[in-house]
């Protein structure tokens, strides 16, 4: 389709915008630099000629917008602008990577190749997906600009997501929250991270987004008046001390406010830290930047009293994404807590533009010491070079490396290590060395012996206690939070399991030979359910590890196990991640059970079968999304806020059900919901609670668990409700019981 005159005007307008942005950033200082960029624009325009995006605009506008984000919002240079302009050429047109190398340069071709590989990451099947991703991340370790341009590409796609159908919006927003948001954070692109989060929320939860946005706008005049009153005495003291500075107020993002409302279960009106005051000043050559930041902090706290536990010093030890600043929360007028951030202009540039600005200042500095970002990239390179996990393990483990670094701990010799909030002594052990982690049995934390699974805190000094005969435990996987620890444990357990499988198969074969029975599919199908194993490898592994003794093997071989097998496979079918082995449908004469027949018996005249996801327990009234299980064909219904759904949609977006799932009002069905309670312990409080639920509301409880300590009781109740409205009415009545201080539905997300 030929472009109209209006299309050409739009294209030229966007191109002139990019030209002006490049001039302002001073990235094209010579004529041949301009020629380099112009050639990329001309080739991209010709390659995408006549092609339109789903929104209807000419396709070439998209690469121009990506280049604009790269130069104007991130601060990348001319090579990145050229790569951004060409980033879809190899994927969508007849041009090859070799053509790009010949016309431009091998470096540009390498960047475009990395961007082309990245586009296939989420559309490939799971095995290819990991290989694509591994190649892209290896490119990241060599040239971070590839990933930064891809983030810019994702940002523009998110800005134009309204043109996509609903199921595509779920897939793309899930990918964005699952991977691109933590990547943007990890590379210091704070402004882009916040915008991506807001855009995800806008399309996933439009009503909540619009409501919070409306309330922010409505409270703007009142908030601005307070900000001016708060800032006035600070301006006065900073002026008297001759600081050159700019002081602004930044309102929290809609997503950040919504997240806090959900996490703390409070309304918008109770989010006290809606904004933060930021002081960005021009640092003098002397004294140090750090000293000058503390001088401004002192000026502020001479006026307003600080909250001691809310001081964040990211100047002495910067975040591992390069972020430096001093944050303090102070008591302002009218008893309102206000966060004040202090930064130099250099720190502010790095905070807003991330890795590009960080690299610029690093190269301008005499010091070439390895910093947090360098160390992270080195970890990524090391992890990728030795990675042998499955596709999904690979993605999950890499995502762990995108954590927000909040904990700084020390070795006995005083060396500092940054780890994610929630890290354990095991994570620290593997951070020091894989061999130390593999033989860890305990830890001395601040000279006191603690469990190896103990959570560590900032400032802790940690010594790992090891033993030669110690080895990793599978339970450790439930508590570790770093990818290095998880990969090392998984690798060790896999090697041990492989050895056990081989040994177990040998033992089983030898024992069966004693009864003149050969090892076969028929025998395995009798033994697997008898020993509660989901597949033959688990059976062999447990035998090899000595968990299964085979003492009653002869009795099991003689036993008719038709019913047990049927029950066993039916248990496996609903949403099970374990598949029966290839020999599982070999005939067992009259004992044979066909998985296809079993599944067919559960089918409902061609209508899709809906199953409530156990991970988030949706009930009528919840906003839900359907995910089609590729193995069973069932539609698993998840709450739209469910973390598991986000992961599934990011990795298998093609299985998201196109149609929006709506609750039926015709069936009187009860749904499981979990409720958390806490209150002041008194005689009869639990009796009052259970009477209200069972007698007054006629609601069945599946389980109740309550503990009491120091005059306080807390616990959880699992009960069956009709919908979210009836649950909310019940919760309101529970709150009215004397002694109940807190009650809420557990979100399980």
Angle CA(412)–CA(418)–CA(424) in degrees, nearest 5?
75
Whether residue 563 has pLDDT greater than 70: no
| Interval 444-454 mean pLDDT | 90
Pick the most confident of 8-22, 164-178, 541-555, 647-661.
8-22
- Per-residue pLDDT at 26: 86
Question: How confident is residue 305, by pLDDT bands cut at 50, 70 and 90?
Answer: very high
In this prediction the pTM is: 0.71
- Per-residue pLDDT at 571: 41
- Per-residue pLDDT at 179: 79
Q: What percent of the chain has pLDDT over 90?
A: 31
Whether residue 99 has pLDDT greater than 80: yes
| Interval 143-148 mean pLDDT | 83
Pick the most confident of 198-212, 310-324, 410-424, 475-489.
198-212
Strand duo 275-281 + 337-344: pairing:
parallel
Expressed in angstroms, the distance from the first to the final Cα of the chain is: 46
Q: State phi, psi for 745 to the nearest 5 degrees.
A: -75, 130
Contact 607, 634 (CB under 8 A): no
Domain boundaries 671-745, CATH class: alpha beta
d(CA 377, CA 150): 17
d(CA 385, CA 8): 47
- Per-residue pLDDT at 558: 72
d(CA 474, CA 461): 26
3-state SS of the chain: helix, strand, coil percent to 5? Answer: 55, 15, 30
pLDDT digits (tens, 9 = 90+) for 691-721: 898 888 888 888 888 888 877 888 899 888 8
Q: Cα torsion for 531, 532, 537, 540, to the nearest 10°?
A: -20
d(CA 284, CA 273): 31
**β-bridge partners, 339:** 276, 329
d(CA 722, CA 64): 52
* Helix or strand (DSSP H, E) at 544: helix 536-544
- Per-residue pLDDT at 381: 63
**β-bridge partners, 717:** 675, 704
Q: Which CATH superfamily is domain 5-207 in?
A: Hypothetical protein af1432 (1.10.3210.10)
Domain chopping of the chain, boundaries: 5-207, 213-364, 491-601, 610-655, 671-745
- Per-residue pLDDT at 68: 96
- Per-residue pLDDT at 54: 86
Contact 108, 79 (CB under 8 A): yes
Q: Which of 106, 118, 105 minimizes the C-alpha distance to 153?
A: 118
Whether residue 371 has pLDDT greater than 80: no
Residue with the larger pLDDT of the pair 75 and 534 = 75
Residue with the larger pLDDT of the pair 2 and 607 = 2
| Interval 21-26 mean pLDDT | 89
Q: Which of 748, 675, 684 minimizes the C-alpha distance to 715?
A: 675
Strand duo 712-721 + 671-680: pairing:
antiparallel
d(CA 376, CA 140): 11
Q: Which residue has the tokens 């082309």?
A: 116
The per-residue b/e assignment along 668-684, b for 16 or more CB within 10 angstroms, e otherwise, is: eeebbbbbebebebeee
Span of 278-287, 351-360, 640-649 with lowest mean pLDDT:
351-360
CATH number attached to the domain at 213-364: 3.30.460.10
CA atoms within 13 A on the CB side of 273: 15
d(CA 553, CA 515): 9
Whether residue 103 has pLDDT greater than 50: yes
Strand duo 337-344 + 326-331: pairing:
antiparallel
- Per-residue pLDDT at 592: 28
* Nearest-10 crossing angle of helices 126-142, 372-385: 140
Question: How confident is residue 632, by pLDDT bands cut at 50, 70 and 90?
Answer: confident
Identify the burial level of 28 via C-beta atoms within 10 angstroms of its C-beta, where 0-12 means exposed, 13-18 middle and 19 or more buried: buried
Residues comprising the chain, all counted:
749
Q: Which of 631, 560, 630, 628 minimizes the C-alpha distance to 595?
A: 631
Compute CA distances 60 → 116, 158, 163, 708, whole Å.
16, 17, 17, 65
The tokens of 367 are what?
A: 């010091």
Pick the most confident of 228-232, 256-260, 395-399, 475-479.
228-232
Angle CA(106)–CA(109)–CA(110) in degrees, nearest 5?
85
| Interval 227-253 mean pLDDT | 94
> Mean pLDDT over all residues of the chain?
82
d(CA 726, CA 734): 12
* Nearest-10 crossing angle of helices 190-204, 145-159: 30
* Nearest-10 crossing angle of helices 31-47, 5-25: 150
Whether residue 67 has pLDDT greater than 90: yes
- Per-residue pLDDT at 572: 43
Whether residue 283 has pLDDT greater than 90: yes
Q: Cα torsion for 494, 497, 499, 505, to the nearest 10°?
A: -140
Residue with the larger pLDDT of the pair 664 and 256 = 256
Angle CA(531)–CA(532)–CA(535) in degrees, nearest 5?
95
Identical fold between 213-364 and 671-745: no
- Per-residue pLDDT at 366: 44
| Interval 635-654 mean pLDDT | 85
Identify the burial level of 445 via C-beta atoms within 10 angstroms of its C-beta, where 0-12 means exposed, 13-18 middle and 19 or more buried: buried
């Amino acid at each position: 389709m030929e472009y109209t005159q209006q299309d050409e005007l739009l294209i030229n307008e966007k191109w002139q915008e990019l030209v002006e942005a490049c001039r302002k950033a001073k990235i094209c200082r010579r004529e041949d630099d301009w020629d380099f960029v112009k050639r990329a624009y001309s080739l991209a325009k010709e390659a995408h000629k006549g092609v339109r995006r789903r929104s209807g605009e000419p396709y070439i506008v998209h690469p121009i917008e990506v280049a604009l984000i790269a130069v104007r919002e991130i601060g990348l240079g001319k090579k990145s602008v050229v790569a951004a302009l060409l980033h879809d050429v190899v994927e969508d047109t007849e041009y090859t990577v070799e053509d790009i190398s010949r016309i431009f340069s091998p470096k540009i071709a390498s960047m475009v190749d990395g961007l082309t590989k990245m586009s296939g990451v989420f559309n490939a099947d799971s095995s290819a997906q990991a290989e694509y991703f591994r190649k892209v991340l290896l490119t990241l370790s060599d040239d971070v600009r590839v990933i930064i341009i891809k983030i810019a590409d994702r940002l523009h796609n998110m800005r134009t997501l309204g043109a996509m159908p609903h199921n595509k919006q779920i897939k793309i927003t899930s990918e964005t929250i699952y991977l691109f948001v933590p990547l943007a954070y990890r590379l210091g692109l704070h402004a882009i991270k916040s915008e991506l989060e807001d855009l995800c929320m806008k399309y996933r939860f439009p009503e909540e987004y619009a409501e919070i946005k409306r309330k922010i706008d409505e409270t703007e005049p009142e908030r601005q008046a307070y900000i001016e009153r708060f800032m006035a005495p600070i301006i006065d003291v900073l002026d008297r001390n001759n600081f050159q500075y700019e002081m602004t107020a930044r309102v929290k993002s809609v997503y950040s406010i919504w997240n806090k409302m959900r996490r703390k279960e409070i309304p918008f009106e109770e989010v006290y830290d809606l904004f933060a005051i930021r002081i960005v000043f021009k640092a003098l050559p002397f004294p140090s930047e750090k000293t000058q930041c503390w001088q401004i902090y002192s000026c502020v706290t001479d006026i307003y009293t600080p909250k001691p536990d809310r001081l964040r010093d990211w100047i002495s030890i910067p975040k591992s994404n390069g972020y430096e600043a001093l944050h303090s929360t102070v008591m302002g007028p009218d008893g309102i807590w206000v966060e004040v951030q202090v930064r130099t202009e250099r720190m502010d540039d790095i905070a807003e533009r991330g890795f590009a600005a960080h690299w610029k200042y690093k190269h301008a500095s005499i010091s070439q010491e390895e910093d947090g970002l360098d160390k992270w990239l080195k970890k990524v390179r090391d992890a990728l070079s030795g990675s042998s996990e499955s596709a999904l393990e690979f993605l999950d483990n890499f995502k762990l490396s995108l954590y927000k670094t909040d904990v700084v701990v020390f070795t006995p010799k005083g060396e500092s290590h940054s780890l994610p909030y929630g890290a354990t002594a095991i994570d620290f052990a593997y951070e020091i060395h894989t061999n130390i982690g593999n033989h860890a049995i305990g830890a001395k934390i601040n000279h006191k012996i603690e469990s190896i699974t103990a959570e560590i805190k900032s400032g802790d000094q940690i010594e790992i206690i090891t033993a030669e005969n110690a080895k990793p435990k599978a339970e450790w996987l439930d508590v570790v939070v770093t990818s290095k620890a998880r990969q090392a444990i998984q690798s060790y357990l896999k090697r041990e399991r492989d050895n056990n499988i081989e040994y177990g198969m040998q033992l089983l074969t030898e024992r069966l030979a004693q009864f003149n029975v050969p090892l076969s599919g028929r025998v395995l199908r009798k033994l697997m359910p008898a020993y509660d194993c989901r597949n033959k490898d688990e059976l062999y592994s447990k035998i090899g590890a000595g968990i299964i003794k085979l003492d009653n093997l002869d009795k099991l071989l003689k036993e008719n196990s038709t019913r047990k097998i049927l029950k066993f496979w039916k248990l496996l079918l609903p949403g099970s991640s374990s598949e029966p082995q290839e020999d599982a449908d070999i005939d067992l004469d009259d004992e044979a059970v066909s998985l296809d027949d079993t599944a067919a018996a559960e089918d409902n005249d061609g209508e899709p079968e809906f199953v409530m996801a156990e991970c988030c327990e949706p009930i009528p009234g919840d906003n839900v999304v359907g995910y089609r299980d590729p193995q069973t064909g069932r539609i698993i219904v998840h709450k739209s806020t469910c973390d598991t759904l986000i992961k599934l949609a990011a990795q298998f977006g093609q299985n998201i059900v196109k149609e929006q799932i709506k609750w039926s009002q015709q069936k009187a069905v009860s749904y499981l919901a979990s409720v958390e309670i806490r209150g002041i312990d008194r005689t009869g409080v639990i009796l009052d609670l259970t009477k209200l639920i069972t007698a007054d509301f006629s609601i069945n409880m599946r389980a109740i668990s309550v503990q009491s300590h120091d005059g306080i009781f807390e616990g959880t109740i699992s009960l069956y409700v009709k919908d979210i409205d009836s649950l909310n009415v019940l919760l309101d009545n529970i709150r009215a019981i004397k002694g109940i201080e807190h009650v809420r539905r557990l979100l399980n997300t």
